[in-house]
Amino acid sequence: MNGLWTAEFGSSTGMFGSGVAVFRDGEILGGDDLYYYVGQYQLDGQSFKASLTISPFIEGAESVFKTVGTSLTLELAGTLIDSSHATGHGTPKEMPSVKFGVKLTKRT
Protein backbone atom coordinates (compact mmCIF):
# COMPACT_ATOMS: atom_id res chain seq x y z
CA MET A 1 0.00 0.00 0.00
CA ASN A 2 2.99 2.33 0.11
CA GLY A 3 2.21 5.53 -1.78
CA LEU A 4 0.11 8.67 -1.99
CA TRP A 5 -3.64 7.99 -1.92
CA THR A 6 -6.65 10.26 -2.32
CA ALA A 7 -9.61 9.56 -0.06
CA GLU A 8 -13.32 10.19 -0.63
CA PHE A 9 -15.24 9.57 2.58
CA GLY A 10 -18.54 9.98 4.33
CA SER A 11 -20.35 9.10 7.51
CA SER A 12 -23.81 8.00 8.53
CA THR A 13 -24.43 11.60 9.69
CA GLY A 14 -24.83 12.49 5.99
CA MET A 15 -21.58 14.50 5.84
CA PHE A 16 -18.93 13.88 3.15
CA GLY A 17 -15.34 14.94 2.52
CA SER A 18 -12.08 14.23 0.75
CA GLY A 19 -8.39 14.33 1.52
CA VAL A 20 -5.01 12.76 0.90
CA ALA A 21 -2.99 10.18 2.83
CA VAL A 22 0.51 8.79 2.50
CA PHE A 23 0.76 5.10 3.41
CA ARG A 24 4.34 4.07 4.13
CA ASP A 25 5.64 0.96 5.87
CA GLY A 26 2.70 0.68 8.28
CA GLU A 27 2.27 4.41 8.93
CA ILE A 28 -0.36 6.85 7.65
CA LEU A 29 0.04 10.63 7.41
CA GLY A 30 -2.49 12.86 5.70
CA GLY A 31 -5.15 15.48 5.91
CA ASP A 32 -7.86 17.59 4.32
CA ASP A 33 -8.82 21.26 4.49
CA LEU A 34 -9.70 21.13 8.21
CA TYR A 35 -8.11 18.01 9.79
CA TYR A 36 -4.81 16.16 9.76
CA TYR A 37 -4.53 12.37 10.07
CA VAL A 38 -1.91 10.25 11.84
CA GLY A 39 -2.12 6.50 12.22
CA GLN A 40 -0.99 2.98 11.49
CA TYR A 41 -2.14 0.22 9.16
CA GLN A 42 -1.57 -3.51 8.75
CA LEU A 43 -1.87 -5.26 5.40
CA ASP A 44 -2.73 -8.97 5.21
CA GLY A 45 -3.02 -10.08 1.60
CA GLN A 46 -5.81 -7.98 0.10
CA SER A 47 -7.22 -6.92 3.49
CA PHE A 48 -6.08 -4.08 5.71
CA LYS A 49 -6.86 -2.67 9.14
CA ALA A 50 -6.07 0.87 10.22
CA SER A 51 -6.26 3.02 13.32
CA LEU A 52 -6.20 6.71 12.54
CA THR A 53 -6.44 9.80 14.74
CA ILE A 54 -8.02 12.80 13.04
CA SER A 55 -7.34 16.17 14.65
CA PRO A 56 -8.58 19.66 13.72
CA PHE A 57 -6.09 22.39 12.89
CA ILE A 58 -8.72 25.11 12.28
CA GLU A 59 -10.69 26.37 15.29
CA GLY A 60 -14.39 25.56 14.97
CA ALA A 61 -13.81 22.94 12.23
CA GLU A 62 -16.74 20.52 11.87
CA SER A 63 -15.88 16.92 11.02
CA VAL A 64 -17.92 14.52 8.85
CA PHE A 65 -19.10 13.13 12.21
CA LYS A 66 -20.62 16.54 13.08
CA THR A 67 -18.14 17.08 15.92
CA VAL A 68 -16.45 20.46 16.37
CA GLY A 69 -12.88 20.93 17.54
CA THR A 70 -12.52 17.32 18.69
CA SER A 71 -9.89 14.71 17.85
CA LEU A 72 -11.30 11.27 17.06
CA THR A 73 -9.78 7.82 16.55
CA LEU A 74 -11.08 5.88 13.55
CA GLU A 75 -10.90 2.09 13.50
CA LEU A 76 -11.12 0.89 9.89
CA ALA A 77 -11.13 -2.39 7.97
CA GLY A 78 -10.84 -2.55 4.21
CA THR A 79 -10.02 -4.39 1.03
CA LEU A 80 -7.59 -3.70 -1.80
CA ILE A 81 -9.65 -4.02 -4.98
CA ASP A 82 -6.49 -3.84 -7.12
CA SER A 83 -3.09 -2.14 -6.84
CA SER A 84 -4.64 1.34 -7.16
CA HIS A 85 -8.06 1.09 -5.48
CA ALA A 86 -9.32 0.21 -2.02
CA THR A 87 -12.45 0.60 0.07
CA GLY A 88 -12.83 0.68 3.83
CA HIS A 89 -15.39 1.09 6.58
CA GLY A 90 -15.42 1.57 10.32
CA THR A 91 -16.40 3.79 13.21
CA PRO A 92 -14.88 6.42 15.47
CA LYS A 93 -13.97 4.81 18.83
CA GLU A 94 -15.67 7.70 20.60
CA MET A 95 -18.91 7.32 18.59
CA PRO A 96 -19.42 3.60 17.87
CA SER A 97 -22.95 4.08 16.54
CA VAL A 98 -21.70 6.33 13.70
CA LYS A 99 -20.53 4.55 10.54
CA PHE A 100 -17.75 5.70 8.22
CA GLY A 101 -16.86 4.66 4.67
CA VAL A 102 -13.90 5.54 2.45
CA LYS A 103 -12.87 5.01 -1.17
CA LEU A 104 -9.10 5.21 -1.73
CA THR A 105 -7.32 5.79 -5.05
CA LYS A 106 -3.53 5.45 -5.32
CA ARG A 107 -1.94 8.38 -7.15
CA THR A 108 1.79 7.59 -6.91
Q: What is the mean pLDDT of residues 28-32?
A: 98
What is the number of other CB atoms lying within 10 angstroms of the CB of residue 1?
A: 20
Predicted confidence band of residue 18 (pLDDT cuts 50, 70, 90):
very high
Q: What is the pLDDT of residue 22?
A: 98
The mean pLDDT of 78-91, rounded to a whole number, is 98
pLDDT at 38: 98
Res 60: pLDDT = 95
| Mean pLDDT confidence for 68-81 | 97
| Letter string b/e over residues 54-89, b meaning 16 or more CB atoms within 10 A of that residue's CB | bbbeeeebebbbebeeeebebebebebeeeeebebe
pLDDT on residue 19: 98
Region 87-93: mean pLDDT is 98
Domains of the chain: 3-106 (2.40.128.380)
- Positive or negative CA dihedral for 58, 76, 41, 19? negative
Confidence grade of residue 93 (pLDDT, cut at 50, 70, 90): very high
